[in-house]
Amino acid sequence: MSLDRAVLLLAGTMTLLSALLAGLVSPWWLLLTAFVGLNLLQSSITGFCPAAVVLRRLGVSRGCAFR
């Protein structure tokens, strides 16, 4: 799996988990969804993604978006 797909997988998983927890536990979990969205927006503008840095250190191979 490339780094690009791993970042998308992580963002999608966190968003779905946050929505599930907001429905079952507390609406405050929607702050996690907002955090993920803001990180995606920030990385699309600046090209820097904190999740990509962590995943790269964990050994995920690079993709074309995060070089």
Averaged pLDDT of the chain: 92
Q: Which long-range contacts (CB under 8 A, 24 or more apart) does 51-57 make?
A: 51/7, 51/10, 51/11, 52/3, 52/7, 55/3, 55/6, 55/7, 55/10, 56/3
Identify which of 44, 14, 47 has the alpha carbon closest to the alpha carbon of residue 31: 14
What pLDDT, on the 0 to 100 scale, is given for residue 66? 64
pTM: 0.84
What backbone torsions phi and psi does residue 24 show, to the nearest 5 degrees? Answer: -95, -30
3-class SS of residue 2: strand
Distance CA 35, CA 2 (A): 23
Residue 67 has pLDDT above 70, yes or no: no
